[in-house]
Amino acid sequence: MASSSSYNSPCAACKLLRRKCMPGCIFAPYFPPEEPQKFVNVHKIFGASNVTKLLNELLPHQREDAVNSLAYEAEARVRDPVYGCVGAITFLQRQVQRLQKELDAANADLIRYACNDIPTGLPQVTGASTVQPPLTPRNRLAEFNRRVGNEGGGFYQLPGALPYSFPWNDASSGDMNDGGGEG
pLDDT reported for residue 125: 55
**pLDDT, average across residues 24-39:** 93
Residue 6 has pLDDT above 60, yes or no: no
| 83-109: pLDDT as tens digits | 988 988 999 999 999 999 999 999 999
pLDDT reported for residue 4: 44
- Of 61 and 117, the structure prediction assigns the larger pLDDT to 61
Task: DSSP for 3-71, please give it.
Answer: -GGGTSPPPHHHHHHT----TT-SSTTTS-TT-HHHHHHHHHHH-HHHHHHHHHHS-HHHHHHHHHHHH
Dihedral Cα 140, 145, 146, 151, nearest 10 deg: -130
43 within 8 A of 16, measured Cβ to Cβ = yes
pLDDT reported for residue 149: 56
Average pLDDT, the chain: 76
Give CA–CA dist 86/77, Å, rounded. Answer: 9
Closest C-alpha to 115, from 140, 133, 136: 140
| 143-161: pLDDT as tens digits | 666 665 554 444 444 444 4
* pTM for this predicted structure: 0.51
Give CA–CA dist 53/27, Å, rounded. Answer: 11
For CA atoms 107, 110, 114, 116, give the dihedral sign.
Answer: positive
